[in-house]
Amino acid sequence: WRLDVPNEVHAINPSFWPQFRKVVKACKPEAYIVGEIWSEPEAWLNESLFDATMNYPLRKSILEFFVSETLSGTDFAKRLIGQQIRVPAVALNSQFNLLGSHDTARLKTLAKGHHDKVMAIFAFLFCYPGTPVIYYGDELGMRGGKDPQCRRSFPWSELTENNALSNLIRSLSALRDKFKALRNGTFKIKVSNDRIIAFERQI
């Protein structure tokens, strides 16, 4: 269940989402409930509300480190650690980690076509705790500005076996599937400086 602007519903009726969760989990205990929350997620991640939120704060940090380079590796590491401290481990591993959506400009557009930056971002996403989420077309390097440009139809003509980005994502997906540490292992920063961040995932 992906819940649109649930904060606005919560502001009107704070008891609605807890009741919603009880009904959903009673029908299907393993159902995944994710809220479209743009702010820091910790207030929404508990046993009475959501399993995850759309992790826009993480996306913001990723773009500032990899794309605009306005965030140093040291400060990027501090933000990652800060979210880890505030978010319960179970919720951290379930977070809806996105790079783009129908509400944002496309990743390749924001990166001004810098292919290497886009590749590095996807590599990070698949190695970081949480659920890596790909907005349709981003796996092909689809471009588009803010709504409605980000909602263009899927470029089927570009879906070939020679697309380096989609091949990388297939490889990263297989790697994540193979190694349990990338799905629910610990996350530890090993090195961080101006333009470098290195971390370890371990069971």
Active site residues: 4, 36
3-class DSSP state for residue 80?
helix
Burial 28-37 (b: 16+ CB within 10 A, else e): eeeeebbbbb
Which tokens is 95 given? 């977070």
If one counts every other C-beta atom within 10 angstroms of the C-beta of residue 78, the result is 15
- d(C-alpha 64, C-alpha 179), whole Å: 28
Give the separation between CA 49 and CA 3, rounded to whole angstroms: 11
CB environment 176-201: b (16+ within 10 A), e (fewer):
beeeeebeeeebebeebeeeebebeb
Distance CA 89, CA 95 (A): 10
134 CB burial (10 A radius; 0-12, 13-18, 19+): middle
